[in-house]
Structure formats: structure tokens, C-alpha cells
């Protein structure tokens, strides 16, 4: 099952197809498929077979989402849409002769990433408001299970607690460690993992927060800028301009999370319900760290680390 992380590979293929189609005035499978899969494999240092698998799975998922929506329409409208879509697929394939007889498709074929963005955006934003950034290593089938729990904080937390048991937690931590370039961050992160495994959750939470801030600063357009919410929004806007829908969703998800973590709160006011960076790092918090608090921060760092993996390759 595809993951959000794999979606970066699919999105790269989709953008390259779009460029080739424009240059050649149409889609030629015999010419374009080889170019796309070879270049994607080279860019992401994976096999062409893996690119094929990712592309096939995402295409199928997008079709399934579309067909589920179409199936709810009145029969006459549903039949018309399906017939028109099949016709456009045939006319879009320039290796076939049909376009020479019947002309151009009546409309462009929908992009799978647009379908995925429409399907998941609202749920991702709602989940981020509850403290969980986009889980890029999670299979989309698993995420569909979370969507059903989106308005129940306790059930969402319980789901992530179970998901990040043992193997998945180690996989997440390995992914983060492999993408931390600052030696101080690496050392601090390793100690956070030790603290977490030793159930020293308050120490873990206090140490993870500045790692997030340090990682975010790497994405800013000004090294002196400490406005973390602005950095998230800046990168989301940049990704949208470049048609990088999955990347933009990741940054919008981070933006919602950072709004919560960095929410302005004066010390003469009541401490926020959620952990707050201002109260935490200035030693004013009265909250005792819990396992779930640590996992929220680990998950957010994982989102940032995986974005960094593809940063240069999908620009």
C-alpha cells in the first residue's frame, strides 16, 4: 500500500509526464514511460521496478477514490462520466490512432495528486490541530482508518500509540537519525530516544522541542528569522507554486502543528492545555510529560526529516 512518503516519487513522475506531454503535444507511452521511470529511479536512488510499483499503486488509489464518488451519483450521470472518461483516456494516448479521427480529449485527465490532495487535505489539517503532523511513513490504508476517528482525540491518540509500538517506532527513529545533519541534533536525538525507551518522558519532551525548532530553521529564507510559523507557511506557498501538492500538504500540516506548539501565551495567563514551547523551554510548565506527548514531537520531527530527504530531488 502506498505511503505519503512514496507520493513524492509519484508526484515527480506526474510532473515529468506533464512536461513531456507539453513538449511533444501529447502523451506517447512508448516514448514517455521509459524516460519517466528511468529518471525517477535515478533521482530517488530506487529501482525502476519500485517506481512502477509506486506509480501503479497511487494511480489505482486515485481511481478508486474517484469511482467511489462517481458511484454515488444518479445512474444516468454516472454512466455519462464513465463513458466520457474512457473516451478521453483513449484520445490522450497518442500511440493509438483515435485522436487523429476524433480529435482532442474533451478535458484533461485528472491528476492523481490532485485527487489525493482533495481527499485528504481537510483530514490532515484537522489531525494536525490535534497534535499529529502528516505521518509520511504511514500507509494510506492506515491513514484512512485514522480519518474515521478524526473528531475523537482519545481514539486518535490510542491509534498512534499502537501504530508506533516497537517496529514502527524504530523505523521512524532510524529515518530521522539518517537525515539529521547537525552532530549536536544527532546526539541530542539519540539521547531523546534513550529517554523515551526508559520512560523518562518529561526529559524527552523538553529535549525534542528545540530539535524541531532547529530543523525548521534550516528551511527558512533568512537564517536570522525565528518565526517558525512563517517558515512553515513560506515553504507551503513555495510548494504550491511549484505544483508539489504532497509537499505542500506536509508543510500545511506542520504549520497547524507549530501554531499549537508556539502559540503565544503569557506567563500571567493560564497555561495552555497542550504543551507550549514558551512555557516548556522557559521552565514554567507545570505539566508532566507523557508518552503520547513525546510521540507527537517524534512524529513531527519525522515529517520534517522525510521532507528533507526529498528536498533537493523534487525541486
pLDDT-flagged residues of the chain (< 70) = 221-226, 271-272, 278, 281-282, 286, 308-315
- The DSSP element (H or E) to which 23 belongs, if any, is helix 4-23
The Cα–Cα gap between 128 and 111 comes to: 25
pLDDT, residue 224, reads 60
- The pLDDT of residue 278: 67
Contact indicator for 111, 14 with CB cutoff of 8 Å: yes
Strand partners, 27: 93
How would you label 128-146 residue by residue, b for 16+ Cβ within 10 Å and e otherwise?
Answer: bebbbbbbbbbbbeebeeb
| pLDDT value, residue 240 | 84
Alpha helices in 93-152 (DSSP H): 98-102, 112-129, 140-147
Predicted pLDDT at 314: 42
- Phi/psi of residue 220, nearest 5 degrees: -75, 155
Q: What is the pLDDT of residue 170?
A: 92
CA-only gyration radius of the chain, Å: 22
Q: What angle do CA 215, 54, 139 make, to 5 degrees?
A: 60
Instruction: Quote the cell numbers at residue 76.
Output: 444516468
Which pTM value belongs to this model? Answer: 0.81
Amino acid at each position: 500500500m502506498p505511503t505519503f512518503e512514496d507520493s513524492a516519487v509519484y508526484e515527480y513522475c506526474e510532473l515529468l509526464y506533464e512536461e513531456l506531454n507539453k513538449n511533444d503535444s501529447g502523451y506517447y507511452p512508448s516514448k514517455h514511460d521509459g524516460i519517466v521511470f528511468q529518471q525517477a529511479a535515478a533521482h530517488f536512488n530506487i529501482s525502476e521496478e519500485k517506481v512502477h510499483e509506486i506509480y501503479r499503486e497511487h494511480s489505482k488509489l486515485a481511481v478508486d477514490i474517484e469511482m467511489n464518488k462517481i458511484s454515488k451519483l444518479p445512474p444516468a450521470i454516472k454512466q455519462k462520466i464513465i463513458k466520457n472518461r474512457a473516451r478521453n483516456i483513449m484520445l490522450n494516448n497518442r500511440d493509438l490512432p483515435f485522436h487523429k479521427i476524433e480529435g482532442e480529449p474533451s478535458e484533461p485527465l485528472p491528476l492523481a495528486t490532485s485527487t489525493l490532495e482533495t481527499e485528504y487535505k481537510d483530514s490532515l489539517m484537522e489531525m494536525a490541530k490535534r497534535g499529529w503532523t502528516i505521518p509520511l511513513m504511514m500507509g494510506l490504508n492506515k491513514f484512512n482508518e485514522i480519518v474515521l476517528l478524526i473528531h475523537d482525540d482519545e481514539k486518535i491518540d490510542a491509534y498512534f500509540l499502537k501504530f508506533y509500538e516497537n517496529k514502527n517506532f524504530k523505523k521512524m527513529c532510524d529515518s530521522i537519525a539518517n537525515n539529521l545533519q547537525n552532530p549536536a541534533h544527532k546526539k541530542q536525538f539519540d539521547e531523546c530516544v534513550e529517554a523515551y525507551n526508559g520512560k523518562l518522558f518529561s526529559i524527552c519532551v523538553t529535549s525534542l522541542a528545540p530539535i524541531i525548532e532547529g530543523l525548521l530553521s534550516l528551511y527558512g529564507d533568512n537564517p536570522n528569522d525565528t518565526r517558525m510559523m512563517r517558515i512553515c507557511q513560506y515553504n507551503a506557498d513555495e510548494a504550491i507554486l511549484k505544483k508539489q501538492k504532497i509537499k505542500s500538504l506536509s508543510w500545511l500540516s506542520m504549520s497547524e502543528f507549530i501554531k499549537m506548539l508556539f502559540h503565544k501565551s503569557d506567563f500571567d495567563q493560564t497555561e495552555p492545555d497542550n504543551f507550549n514551547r514558551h512555557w516548556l523551554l522557559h521552565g514554567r510548565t507545570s505539566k508532566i510529560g507523557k508518552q503520547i506527548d513525546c510521540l507527537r514531537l517524534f512524529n513531527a520531527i519525522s515529517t520534517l526529516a522525510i521532507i528533507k530527504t526529498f528536498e533537493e530531488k523534487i525541486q
